Amino acid sequence: MVGRARRAHARRAGPRHDRSLMAAAAFAGAAALACETSWTRLLGLALGHEQLGVLAVLAGFFGGMALGAALAHARADSVRAPARSFALLQVGVAAYAIASPWSLTWFGGWLPGALGLAAPAVLSVVAAAVILLPATLALGASLPLLVAARRQVATDDARGLARLYALDTIGATLGVLAMIHLLLPALGVPRATAVAAALALISAGLASAGWANERPNEQVEQAAPARDPDDGLLRERWISYVAIGVTGLLGLGLEVIGVRVLAQVFSGTIYSFADLLAVWLLGTGLGAGCHARLSARALGRRPATVLVALVWALALSVALTAMLAKAAPELLEWLAPPSSAWGRRQLAELATAGIVLGPTTILMGACFAHLLALIAAPDPNVTPARPRSIGLALAINGLAAAAAPVVFGLWAIGSLTYAEVWAAIAWGYLLLAVGIAWLRRFPPRVIAFGSIVGGLTLLSAGAGAGSLVLVEDEGDAWTIVERREGSLGVVGVSRTTQAPGSIERPLLRLRVDRHFRMGGALSIGERRMGHVSMLLAGPEARAALFLGLGTGATAGAGLSYPLTQLTGVELVPDVIEMLPHFEAVNAGLTTDPRVRLLPVDARRFLRADNGAHDLIVADLFHPARDGAGSLYAREQFTAARERLSPGGLFVQWLPLYQLDWRSLQMIARTFVDVFPHAHAMLALYNVETPALGLIGSASEIQISLAQLERALADPERSALYRELALTDPRDFLAGYMLDRAGLIELAGDAPINDDLHPRVELLAPRAELGPLTGADNLERLLTQRRAWPDGFVTDPDPAALARYRAATAGFADALAHYLQGELALRRRLASAPSTAPVFTRELLAPYLAAYLREPAFLPARPRLFAAAEADPILAEWLLPAMLERTPNHRRAHQAWLAHLARIHDQPRLDVALAAWRELGGD
C-alpha cells in the first residue's frame, strides 16, 4: 500500500519536477557560459592572445568538461539522488566563480614566467586544463546527473534529453550575451562573476526542488521497431560514439574557421566574438529543440536513416554556407552602412552571423540530440529496459571539441587556405554520412546516389564561393605583392608608384583583415615616434624593446642609434614575415644582427621575459579591438615598469584618432597611477591621425640639452632627420604637452583600467568615432597644455637653459597656432570632402601667426606658400608680412617675385629684384 501511494504521488509530482529540472538546465547553462566567458578572458591574459594562447584555453576548458562527463558516466544513474548531486556540483561552480577573479589574476601573473616564452603547445593546454579543472569537472558532470535526475520523474527519455540540452544551450546563449553586454560593463569582473555564481545557485535550488526522492523509473517509452535497412544501430553503439566524436571535431572546427572568416569584416571587438558565440549556441539549442518535438518519429522508425540524413545535410549545409560567408561584407554593409551607430552595427553583425551560420548550427543541434538519444536508448534485448548513461558520449564529444582548436586553429589554418579548411569540414561530414550508411548496410544505389549528389554539391559550392578572403581589392592604384591567410588574420602587402611614391621608391601598405592599414606613405609619423623615443632615452640606451611592429618603421628607427640589442614583439606572426617588404622604412629590421623578433603577445612577453630594457616603446594599439584594451591596463603598465633598467623609459603611444575622450582619460589615470614620473608629448603635428606619447619612468626623467643638440647634429643621421623634420631641439620640445600634474588634471575623475575592470576594452567599442575624432581630442588637449617643468631639460649653464626655454616657448606658441589652422582646415574638409580647400584669410590667419611668432618653425610654411601661389589677393597679404618678419628669407623673396611676375606688376617687380640681388640672388 505504501509503495503504491508513493508511486501515485510521484506520478502526480512528475510534471512539476520535470519543469524544475528543465529550468535548472537553463540556469546552469547561463551560469556556465557566463563564467566561461570570464574565465577564458582572464586566463587568456596569462597564456596570451596569440592563437596558441586562445586555443589552449579553449582546449583546456573542453578537456576538463570531457573528464567530468567521463567520471559521471558510471555513477550518474547509480546514485540515489542525482538531482542533489547536481545541486552540489552547481554550488561548487558558484564557489569557484566567486573566487576566480582573484585566483585567475594571480595565475595570470605567475603562469607566463613559469611556462616561459618557448613553452610547447601541450604544456599551455595542460596548464589551462589544470587551473580550470575544479570548475570544468563540475560542469562536465552536471548534464549526465541532470539527465539521471529527470529519469526518476519522467519516461520520455529521448525527448527529455533533447529538451534538457536545448534549454541548457539556450540558457548558455543568454549567459554569454548578458555577461559581455550587460554584466561586465556595469559591474566589472568580480561582481559579474558573482551574478553568474548566483545563477548556478538558482540552478542548484531548482534541481533540489525537482528531486522526487524516488528510485529510477524501470519503465521507459520504447521506440517502435526500426525499419532501417539494418536495425542493429542500437546494438552496435560504437558507431554512434564514433559519430558523436567526429561531429564534435568537425563542428568546433567549423566554429574556428567561421569565426576567423567573419572576423575579417566584423568589428573585431569583444562584443563581436560574443555575438558569434551566441549565434552558435542559439542555433544548436534550437536544433535540439526541434529534435525534441520529433524524437518519437526520429527514433521510432528509421533512426539510422535519420542520422545519415542529418550528417549528409550537414555536409551540404557547410558547403553552401561558404557561399553565404563570401557575401558577408555586402550583407553587413546593407544592414549597417559605415556611418551607422554602434547599436545598429552590433545588430547587423548578429544578423549576418545568424544568416551565415544559423542553418548549419540548427542541423548540428539536431544531430547531436539524435546521437545522444541513440546512445541513451535502452537495449531492446535487455529486460527491464533501462536507458543508458550519456556521460561517455559527452566525454568523447568534449575530447573531440578540445582537439578541434589545435587541429583546425593551429594546423589546418596554418597549412591550408580558409576555403580549403572550410571545404575539408564539409567533405568530412559527407564521408561520415557515407561511412555510417555503408556500415548499416544501406543499399549501394542509395549510397552511390547520396555520394554523387553530395560530392557534386560540395564541388559546386566550393567553386561558387571561391576564396574566402573577404578583404576587398586594393583598387587600380595598388597592386597586391603578397597575401597570407593566417590564424590571426589575412595579412597582405600592396604597392603603388603614385605620388608621393615613385618608380624608384614605391609606396607599400600593410593590411590586416579589413580594419588595419599601416604604411601607405613614407611612414614619417611612425619613424618619428621611434626617433623621438630614442632621443628621449638618451645616448646611454643600449637595450630597447618595441611592443607591436606593423611595418617596423618605429622599431627600425632604433637601429640608427648605438643599441646592442633591439627586441621586437608582434602578435601576428605573418606581420613579421612581411617586414622585408618594408626595409626602406624599417632600416632592414629583419637582417640586423642586433635584432630579435618574436611572434608573441606583448602582455605575456613582459611577464615571461627576464631581461631589462633601457627603453620600452608600445605602439599604437586600437583600444576597441578584442584584447587590445588589456594593453592599456594597470597590470600591463606595471609589468613594463618592472622590466625597465634603472633610469629606463616606457613610452606608450596613443592613437588620438581611435580614442574617445573618456577612454583617453582612463588610460592617463592608469598611467600616472603606475609611473611616479610621467609626461606627454606629440609625435608629429598631424590633426588627422595625431599620436600622443605617454612617457613614464620609476625615476626622474631628465633630458640633457647638450646631448640632445649633439644627437640632432650627428652628421650620420642628418639626412634622416631632415626627411622627418626633426632637426631643431626647439622644435623637438615644442611638442611637449603635459607633465604629471597635467595628466592628472586631464584624467579628472576617470577610474583606473585594470584586468578586473576592463573599462577601456568594454567602453571603446561603443564610442562613436568619426573623421574629426583625432582633431577634437587634439583641440581639447591644447587647452590643457603646459610648458615643460623645471628639471625636465638640464644644462650646466642656467643662462643658456633660460634662453633655450624662451626659444622653445616661441616654437610651442607657433605650434599651437599651426595646429589651430590645421584643425580649421580639417573641419572644412570634413564638411565638404569632395571639394578642394579654398583658402581664406580666416583660414590662413593661424598659419601666418605661427610664422610671425617663430619663422624657424617649418610646418606652417607649405600652407602659406601654396595659398600665395594659388590666390593673388592672398599673396598680397601673406608675402609682404612674411618678408617684413624675415627680410632675408630667400624662399619668401622667390615667392614674392613669382607673384609679381604673374600679375605683371613691373614697377614693384623691379624693386623686388633689386632687393633679391642684394641678398645675392641671381
Mean pLDDT, the chain, whole residue set: 87
Distance set, CA 670 to CA 663, 675, 704 (Å):
11, 9, 28
pLDDT exceeds 80 at position 316: yes
Banded pLDDT at 214 (limits 50, 70, 90): very low
Residues 785, 819 contacting (CB under 8 angstroms): no
- Residues 737-759: tens digit of each pLDDT: 999 999 999 999 999 999 999 99
Average pLDDT, integer, range 123-152 = 87
Average pLDDT, integer, range 596-605 = 91
User: Which pLDDT does position 743 carry in this prediction?
Assistant: 97
Amino acid, res. 846: P
- Residues 430-457: tens digit of each pLDDT: 999 999 999 888 888 989 999 999 999 9
Average pLDDT, integer, range 887-892 = 88
Whether the CA torsion 221, 222, 224, 230 is positive or negative: it is positive
User: Which pLDDT does position 170 carry in this prediction?
Assistant: 94
Banded pLDDT at 838 (limits 50, 70, 90): low
User: Which pLDDT does position 50 carry in this prediction?
Assistant: 54
Say how far apart CA 526 and CA 545 lie, in whole Å.
16
User: Which pLDDT does position 11 carry in this prediction?
Assistant: 47
Say how far apart CA 74 and CA 776 lie, in whole Å.
65
Average pLDDT, integer, range 257-263 = 91
pLDDT exceeds 80 at position 503: no
* 290-299, 525-534, 867-876, range with the lowest pLDDT: 290-299
Average pLDDT, integer, range 534-538 = 94
Residues 632, 653 contacting (CB under 8 angstroms): no
Residues 117, 608 contacting (CB under 8 angstroms): yes
User: Which pLDDT does position 833 carry in this prediction?
Assistant: 58
User: Which pLDDT does position 1 carry in this prediction?
Assistant: 41
User: Which pLDDT does position 837 carry in this prediction?
Assistant: 56
Say how far apart CA 519 and CA 516 lie, in whole Å.
10
Say how far apart CA 64 and CA 83 lie, in whole Å.
21
State how far Cα 189 lies from the chain centre: 19
User: Which pLDDT does position 719 carry in this prediction?
Assistant: 87
Output DSSP code: residue 751: P
- Residues 46-95: tens digit of each pLDDT: 777 655 566 777 788 888 899 999 998 878 777 888 889 999 999 999 99
DSSP notation for 81-132: -HHHHHHHHHHHHHHHHHHHHHHHHHHHHHHHHHH-TT--HHHHHHHHHHHH
Q: How many CB atoms lie within 10 A of CB 782?
A: 15
Q: How many CB atoms lie within 10 A of CB 725?
A: 14
Amino acid, res. 193: T
In sequence order, what are the residues at sequence separation of 6 or more whose Cβ sits closer than 8 angstroms to the Cβ of residue 559?
566, 587, 588, 589, 592, 594, 595
Q: What is the pTM of this model?
A: 0.91
Say how far apart CA 587 and CA 782 lie, in whole Å.
34
User: Which three cell numbers, joined as nine digits, stand for 721?
Assistant: 632627420
Helix (H, G, I), strand (E, B) or coil at 396: helix
Exposed / middle / buried, residue 209 (Cβ in 10 Å: 0-12, 13-18, 19+)? middle
CA atoms within a 13 Å half-sphere pointing along the CA-CB vector of 718:
6
pLDDT exceeds 50 at position 921: yes
* 102-111, 213-222, 818-827, 837-846, range with the lowest pLDDT: 213-222
Could you give the percent of the chain with pLDDT greater than 70?
90
User: Which pLDDT does position 365 carry in this prediction?
Assistant: 95
Say how far apart CA 387 and CA 76 lie, in whole Å.
12
Query: Long-range contact list for 437-446, CB < 8 A, 24+ apart?
Result: 437/308, 439/239, 440/228, 440/229, 440/230, 440/232, 440/233, 440/239, 440/304, 440/308, 441/229, 441/230, 442/229, 442/230, 442/308, 443/229
pLDDT exceeds 50 at position 220: no
Exposed / middle / buried, residue 512 (Cβ in 10 Å: 0-12, 13-18, 19+)? buried
pLDDT exceeds 90 at position 299: no
Say how far apart CA 627 and CA 830 lie, in whole Å.
31
User: Which pLDDT does position 501 carry in this prediction?
Assistant: 63
Phi-psi region of 213 (alpha: psi -120 to 50; beta: other; left: phi over 0): left
Residues 806, 793 contacting (CB under 8 angstroms): no
Say how far apart CA 131 and CA 151 lie, in whole Å.
33
Q: Alpha helix (H) ranges present in 753-860?
A: 759-763, 773-783, 798-831, 841-853
Say how far apart CA 731 and CA 708 lie, in whole Å.
12
User: Between β-strands 516-519 and 479-486, what pairing exists: parallel, antiparallel or unpaired?
Assistant: unpaired
Backbone phi and psi for residue 473, each to the nearest 5 degrees, phi listed first: -60, 150
User: Which pLDDT does position 807 carry in this prediction?
Assistant: 87
User: Which pLDDT does position 648 carry in this prediction?
Assistant: 95
Say how far apart CA 254 and CA 15 lie, in whole Å.
38
Element (H, E) at 199: helix 184-209
Which residues pair with residue 683 across a beta bridge?
none
User: Which pLDDT does position 267 carry in this prediction?
Assistant: 86
Amino acid, res. 202: I
User: Which pLDDT does position 593 carry in this prediction?
Assistant: 94
User: Which pLDDT does position 499 carry in this prediction?
Assistant: 67
Torsion of CA 304, 309, 315, 316, to 10 degrees: 170
Amino acid, res. 693: G
In sequence order, what are the residues at sequence separation of 6 or more whose Cβ sits closer than 8 angstroms to the Cβ of residue 904?
none
Q: Which of 643, 663, 645 is nearest to 654 (CA)?
A: 663
Distance set, CA 718 to CA 352, 386, 500, 715, 811 (Å):
53, 87, 22, 5, 21
- Residues 379-424: tens digit of each pLDDT: 766 666 678 889 999 999 999 998 898 899 888 988 899 999 999 9
User: Which pLDDT does position 231 carry in this prediction?
Assistant: 58
Q: Which of 289, 263, 285, 290 is nearest to 274 (CA)?
A: 263
Average pLDDT, integer, range 853-857 = 92
DSSP notation for 514-533: TTEEEESS--HHHHHHHHHH
Say how far apart CA 161 and CA 154 lie, in whole Å.
11
State how far Cα 1 lies from the chain centre: 66
Distance set, CA 484 to CA 168, 488, 520 (Å):
39, 10, 19
Distance set, CA 917 to CA 473, 880, 881 (Å):
55, 17, 20
Average pLDDT, integer, range 865-871 = 91
Say how far apart CA 916 and CA 896 lie, in whole Å.
10
Whether the CA torsion 241, 247, 249, 255 is positive or negative: it is negative
Residues 118, 157 contacting (CB under 8 angstroms): no
Banded pLDDT at 552 (limits 50, 70, 90): very high
Residues 430, 455 contacting (CB under 8 angstroms): yes
User: Which pLDDT does position 154 carry in this prediction?
Assistant: 76
- Residues 645-694: tens digit of each pLDDT: 999 999 999 999 999 999 999 999 999 999 999 999 998 888 988 999 99
CA atoms within a 13 Å half-sphere pointing along the CA-CB vector of 304:
23
pLDDT exceeds 80 at position 809: yes
Say how far apart CA 157 and CA 217 lie, in whole Å.
11
- Residues 506-522: tens digit of each pLDDT: 788 888 887 666 665 67
User: Which pLDDT does position 9 carry in this prediction?
Assistant: 44
pLDDT exceeds 50 at position 578: yes
